Structures are given as structure tokens and as C-alpha cells.
Amino acid sequence: MKNPFWDFRSVPAQRREIPLDRIVRAREETLDRIVQGYLQLVEEEVRDLVWLAEESKVERAYNAAVRSVGGLEYDADDIDEFCALLDSSSKIPYLISGPAGIYISALVNRAEDDRIVLCPKDYERSFHFLGYKLPEGKTLVLQGDVGDFTGAGLFGGCLLVEGSVGNWCGAGMMKGEIRVAGDAGQNTGEWMRGGEIHVDGTIQGVGTKFYGNTGYRVLFGGKIYQKGKLLVSRALVKGADQVSKGQP
Amino acid sequence: MTQDTNGALRETVHAIHRYIGENLYFSRPDLEIRGKKFNAALLLSLLTGLRQGKALIIGEPGLGKTTSAEYICSLLYGLPLGTVWASEVSGHPEQTEEKIIGRPDLGRLNQGEEVVVWSHFVLLPAKIVDEINRLPETKQSMILDGVDRGNWEYLNDAVINSEYCLFATANYQDGGTHTIIAPLIDRFDVMVESKHPGPNLAFHIGMGGSNGTGLRNEAMETELHRVLNQRIPYKDRMDQVEELSNRFGEAVERELGVRTLSRPDRETIRSGMNEIPLDVDTNAFLRLVLAELSFCSHYGQRRFHEGCAEGCHFTSYLCNTVRNCISNRFPSSTRALSQALAWFMGDKQVGLEHVKAILPFTLAHRIQWKEETLARREKESRRDPLPIYMAREAVREMHRRYIEQADRLKSALAIACRISDGEPLEPVEGDHPIYWEIRRDLGEEVLDS
């Protein structure tokens, strides 16, 4: 049918957008800025595209990520969208699991939402360091299996994993709680100083295992439960002082 | 066609208008457009004649309804006054199709041939029906098609006028008049009153100051009568009529100093008028007018037999006071006459002033007001007959409403244009019926709130 308003095609009009369009565009802009922050982080921290999970590097990457997301306004949905984008989009040329997880953690920790739900089961790739330094008052729910260093450096937050975690879950955590519905890998709770880790499945290994010197586990505090039973706590730590001096 | 050609023709038309006003049809000005004063009956009849329109001229007997139309037909179409008189159809109860349209050629019928003798009324391009409302309703239907399209049929023959205008006069209701049926009255582009000119001009008329005898030409009338009665194809007859019209025009120019229009002149004028665009405000204003005169939030549109729904909150718009739905002939008439007025005034666009001047006359006979509305307003002080007065007031109201929201409405239409082109925008909302109608045109059925 002929456009009955064609005579007004060149009449200036203040366009009134459907609110949904405005929301979608704002979300796209936010997402673009989040992606730019991530790419900048990767460029600064991972120049040769190889990244080692060393404490100093992790700390530096996290601080850079926090700076990067500092001026952004976003919410839990933006974080979820970014994760999906990291997993599949051509917008992001390279995914490095460590920095990606640290960046996501920075986003989670700086978000205004108290409870954030991410869905790793929907992702093909695995992210490390999810829940890194999760602060007090925040709850992060991870639906699905996650990678290594999940909940590392946890700082009072509550991390709920509806799946299994990789190695070094809760490594160096200070306080807070990690609950894993599935299994946990090696070195769970290594260097943890407080808080609790509850694993409903099987824990492959707790703390640092010294080959040839069985039974030594390095924890400076906190408790680890397996299937509801206390597996290890500060009281059970043996040789912690020795080990802490002798080990990195 | 050039601007110069149209400018020269405009001067010719102005001269005709001036000549009629100063010599033939004495009248007071009752219409002001941008500071210029006109007599509505004369101006609108002139524009109707130029535009190939149809005008219904109402008024008291003897106030120049028919004579003004006759002078205009004579000068615009180059026809001697006697020829115009001879082609007129009078409305009376005994009028027959044979007298109005045509009759069988009795001589040929006796020989077994069906040949139609067309009336001069049918053949000539300038037509006048005198006292149309003395035709009974049943006989008014006979001229419906002819009035509408210039399409006249009798027996198995037909004449389709390639060029024609029609003037009908109507007296106010008396014992011998009938109601003009709605389909017929809607076919008139304008309705205008031929008013009393006032005692001083009337005295002057009585003293013989108005004299149309200069437009008589007996020799030419006889010749035209002969040509029109020939049994030759319609087109050939009209070619000969045109030739005689041109000769009559030369005689009029020589004797009266005023030039008549030839057929190519009229075609050039019409073409010039058609090229004049409506400006954006006029376009938007007309849409607002159409919305008010057709809208019903409850029943979808106005219908003659349906009233207003109880509790409808659109009480301040015309839809609440009219009974019928305005026809599609109305915007067509308004455009044509507004273009004609803009051309007459030498303007390059049809603006609000033009359309505001024309609207009361294209609306007056087309609006059927609710009885309570008529009763409420019929005693108000006025200078026009009630239908024209009420139409004029309605236009004033709608124009005020338009001015209050012109920017918003133009925005709404501009946004609607973009939405129709697929842009994801939200229609502009408003309380006026036009905003509702825009949303309906965008595919959104809006129900009464």
C-alpha cells in the first residue's frame, strides 16, 4: 500500500524511539566499552599472548581490570552478555582464560548488583579465576563447570558453583564461602587464609601436595568440607610455617 | 506552458471577474483573503467554472443566482448569453429525461433507426440547472452520473463531456421545493449563497445599472443552435462550437473590452492550477479536518444512522456534532478549488489562507449536523445561511485546534512516514482523532479507552 504519509518525508520531526530500542542501544554501547576494556587489558598484560598465573601478574592484571571497568555503568546482564561474547564472538579476537576470568571477576566485584548469576554451562570455553577476590556482600552463582583458580583470593563473598571446579579452587582466599555442587580438582584451598570451602562431590587434592612427603598441606586458615564433613582446617595443617618459608 | 502564459491568462481571468463585478453582477464583498475582498458567490462560481467543477448556488428568488452563473458561463466558455439560456434545464416536477438529456429522433425512429437527439444542456460544456430542488427526488437521480462525470446516456447512446462545468441554483425551502438527495448534493464541489447586494446596489440594479445584453449575439446564437442540432458526431460538433466560441470571443473583446477564454486557454489554466502544490501546513490541516469529520472511536467511523456512544470523551470535536461521514469528494473539491484560488491570487503554493477560505463552501452542503446542534446555533447572529455559517465556524474551530498543535501534528505525520518505511519508531500520541487515525493507518487498531 502507498505510504499515506509520504508528503511528510522531509518534514523534520523529533524522533520518538521505542524504549526498548534505547535500552538495546545503551546496552550495546556498554558492551562495546566492556570489550574495549578487556582488549586493552590483554594488550597490556599479555603482549606475547602467553600468560602465567603468577601471583604478581594476577594481582597486576586484576588492578588493571578494576581500573578499566571503573568508569563503566553496567549490570549483571552486561556481564553475562560479555561472557557470551568472549565465548563466541568475532568481536574479541583472542580469549586467554586467565585474564578473561580476572576481567570478569573485576566486573563482578565492581557491579552494583549484590547477586550475579553466570552460566558457564552455556559456554564452550572454560574461564579461570572466576570469583577472584569476590568481596563481602556479593554472591556469585556459576551455573555449570568452571576452570582453575575459581574463587581464588575470595574476599568475603559467597561463591556458589552449580557444577565442578578445576584446580586451585579458593587458592589464597581470605574469607567468605565457596560452595561447589560437583567435584573439585587438585590444590583446592592452597594458601587459603580464611573462609570455608564446601564441596559436595569429590576433592582431588587439598592444598599443596609435596611429592615424597605425603600428608603436608599448606593452608594458613579456613576450613574445607567434603560432602558435609570437615576435611581440613587450620588445626590440621601440618608444617605450614616450614612450607610457607620454603615454598613460593 | 510557461509562467508568462499563466500570468497573462490570470490577467484575463481577473478582467472577466472585474467585468462581471462591475457591470453584470452587483454584490457586496463577503469574503476576505489576505486583505483582499471578494464576493464569495462570484469568486467561487468563477473558480468552479475554471476548474470544471460543480457549484450549487442557493438564495432567495431574484437575487442573481442564475444570472451570475450565466455570465460566468458566457465569458469563461465563450458562449453567447442566448445559447446559455437555451441550454439551461429548469427544475420542475414535470421535467423529463427527454427534456434534460435527449430524445429519440422521431423522423429516424419512423424509419426504424434509434438515433438520439441530445439536448444542448448535455452537449455544451457550460451547464446550468435552474432551481434544481424543484426536481422531485426520483428525477434528481436522472442527472447523477451526468453531474458527477459528464457522462450522459440515453437509449443505447452516450455522450461523455470532455470538458464541462455545472451550476445549479436552489431556492430556500418553500411549498414547491424538494430535498436535494444526499448523493446528488455531495457531487457539488461548493455551495455558495447569492446574497442580497444591499439596498443601494439593489436600487442601482433596479435602475438598469446591471445589463448583460452585451453578451447577447443573435447571429452567433442562431449559428450555434444550428451547429448543435446537426446530426454529426459529438466531437465534430464541439469542434465547430469551439470555432464559433472563438469568433464570439473576438466580438466580445471588440465591443466590451473583455476577452473570453478559449478551450486551450482553459486547459492551460487548469494545468497551471494542477501544478500548484499544497504546503505542508495545508496538507496536515486537511488531514485534521478529515479526521474530525469521519472519526468515531466507538464505531470506527461516522455513520448517518448511528449516534455517538454514551460516555465517549471526544466531545469537543466535530465528530460529536455531525451525523454523517464526510465523503471522499470533499478533499478532492477542496484541493481543486484551493488550487484554483491560489492560481487566481498568483501564489505558488496552496496555503492555509486559501484552504480556510474555500473550506466553508466545500463543507456546508456535505455536513449533516445533529438536530440538537442545529437547534442550539440557528438563532446565533450571523451573515450567512445556517449551513455555511456553521461550516465557517467549524473551520474556524478546527483551524484553532490545528494552530495549537501544528508542530506536534506535523511531527506525528513525519514519524508515521518513517514508521511506514520500516523505521522502529513510536507513533506520536495525542487526544485529537487524527492521532488515533494515524495509528490505525500504521496497522494499530485503537480501541476506545
- Smallest CA–CA separation between A15 and chain B, in Å? 7
Domain ranges across chain B: 3-274, 280-441
Mutation choice for A interface testing from B420, B421, B423 by most A CBs within 10 A:
B420
Query: pLDDT digit string (tens) for B267-288?
Result: 999 999 999 999 999 999 999 9
Q: Range with the lowest mean pLDDT among A184-188, B4-8, B369-373, B374-378?
A: B4-8
At residue B330, does pLDDT exceed 60? Answer: yes
Calculate Rg over the CA atoms of chain A: 22
At residue A87, does pLDDT exceed 90? Answer: no
Q: Average pLDDT, stretch A82-96?
A: 77
Share of chain A above pLDDT 90, in %: 40
At residue A241, does pLDDT exceed 50? Answer: no
**Confidence band (pLDDT; 50, 70, 90) for B398?**
very high
Nearest CA in chain A to B429: A16
ipTM for the assembly: 0.86
Q: Give A2's contacts in chain B (Cβ within 8 Å).
A: none
Q: Which of A146, A56, A143, A71 has its CA nearest to residue A101? A: A146
**Confidence band (pLDDT; 50, 70, 90) for B357?**
very high
More confident residue, A95 or B24: B24
At residue A90, does pLDDT exceed 70? Answer: no
Query: pLDDT digit string (tens) for A191-214?
Result: 888 999 999 999 998 877 655 455
**pLDDT of amino acid B285:** 98
Q: Give B441's contacts in chain A (Cβ within 8 Å).
A: 4-5
Share of chain B above pLDDT 90, in %: 81
* Sheet (strand A155-162) strand order: A115-118, A139-143, A155-162, A175-180, A193-199, A221-226, A229-233
Share of chain A above pLDDT 70, in %: 81
Q: Give B425's contacts in chain A (Cβ within 8 Å).
A: 15-18
Those of residues 313-332 in B touching chain A at CB distance below 8 A are none
Q: Which residues contact A194 (CB under 8 A, 6 or more apart)?
A: A173, A174, A175, A176, A221, A222
How many other C-beta atoms lie within 10 A of the C-beta of residue B11? 12
**pLDDT of amino acid B60:** 94
Share of chain B above pLDDT 70, in %: 98
Mutation choice for B interface testing from A6, A9, A11, A18 by most B CBs within 10 A:
A11
Burial of A101-130, coded b for 16+ CB within 10 Å and e otherwise, reads bbbbbbbbbbbeeeebbbebeebeebbbbb
At residue A218, does pLDDT exceed 70? Answer: no
At residue A242, does pLDDT exceed 70? Answer: no
Q: Which of A206, A155, A154, A143 has its CA nearest to residue A180? A: A143
Q: Which of A144, A141, A222 has its CA nearest to residue A179? A: A141
At residue B179, does pLDDT exceed 70? Answer: yes
Q: What SS3 string covers chain B?
A: CCHHHHHHHHHHHHHHHHHHHHHHCCCCCCEEECCEEECHHHHHHHHHHHHCCEEEEEECCCCCHHHHHHHHHHHHHCCCHHHHHHHCEECCCCCCHHHHCEEECHHHHHCCCCCEEECHHHHCCEEEEECHHHCCHHHHHHHHHHHHHCEEEECCEEEECCCCEEEEEEECCCCCCCCCCHHHHHCCCEEEECCCCCHHHHHHHHCCCCCCHHHCCHHHHHHHHHHHHCCCCHHHHHHHHHHHHHHHHHHHHHHHCCCCCCHHHHHHHHHHHHCCCECHHHHHHHHHHHHHHHCCCCCCCCCCCCCCCCCCCCCCCHHHCECCCCCCHHHHHHHHHHHHHHHHCCCCCECHHHHHHHHHHHHCCCCCECHHHHHHHCCCCCCCCHHHHHHHHHHHHHHHHHHHHHHHHHHHHHHHHHHHCCCCECCCCCCCHHHHHHHHHCCCCCCCC
Mean pLDDT of chain B: 93
Domain ranges across chain A: 18-237
Nearest CA in chain A to B425: A17
Q: Range with the lowest mean pLDDT among A206-220, B335-349, B378-392?
A: A206-220
More confident residue, A58 or A202: A202
Q: Average pLDDT, stretch B433-441?
A: 94
Amino acid identity at A140: L
Nearest CA in chain B to A3: B420
Those of residues 296-315 in B touching chain A at CB distance below 8 A are none
- The answer to whether B142 faces chain A, any CB pair under 8 Å, is no
Q: Average pLDDT, stretch B235-263?
A: 96
Q: Range with the lowest mean pLDDT among B142-146, B343-347, B372-376?
A: B142-146
Length of chain B: 449
Q: Find how far residue B445's CA is from the centre of its chain.
A: 35
pTM for the full model? 0.69
CB contact under 8 A, B411 and A5: no
At residue B240, does pLDDT exceed 60? Answer: yes
- The answer to whether B425 faces chain A, any CB pair under 8 Å, is yes
Query: pLDDT digit string (tens) for B67-101?
Result: 999 999 999 999 999 999 999 999 988 999 999 99
Q: Specify the fold of B3-274.
A: Rossmann fold (3.40.50)
Nearest CA in chain B to A13: B411
How many other C-beta atoms lie within 10 A of the C-beta of residue A28? 11
- The answer to whether B440 faces chain A, any CB pair under 8 Å, is no
Using the Cα atoms of residue B402, residue B406, residue B410 and residue B415 in order, give the sign of their dihedral: negative
At residue B4, does pLDDT exceed 80? Answer: no
**pLDDT of amino acid A235:** 43
**pLDDT of amino acid B307:** 87
**pLDDT of amino acid A248:** 27
At residue A236, does pLDDT exceed 80? Answer: no
**pLDDT of amino acid A1:** 73
* Gap between the Cα atoms of B354 and B345, Å rounded: 9
At residue A149, does pLDDT exceed 80? Answer: yes
How many other C-beta atoms lie within 10 A of the C-beta of residue A36? 13
**pLDDT of amino acid B298:** 85
Q: Give B283's contacts in chain A (Cβ within 8 Å).
A: 7-8
**pLDDT of amino acid A41:** 84
Q: Which of B33-47, B196-210, B289-303 has the highest mean pLDDT?
A: B33-47
Q: Which of B417, B427, B441 lies nearest to residue A8, judging by beta carbons?
A: B417
Query: pLDDT digit string (tens) for A223-234?
Result: 899 999 988 765
How many other C-beta atoms lie within 10 A of the C-beta of residue B133? 25
Give SS3 for A188: strand
Nearest CA in chain A to B279: A7
* Gap between the Cα atoms of A75 and B64, Å rounded: 81
Query: pLDDT digit string (tens) for A7-57?
Result: 999 998 776 556 676 777 788 888 888 988 888 888 877 765 566 777 778
CB contact under 8 A, A9 and B414: yes
**pLDDT of amino acid A15:** 61
The upper half-sphere exposure of residue B255, i.e. CA atoms within 13 Å in the direction of its Cβ, equals 12
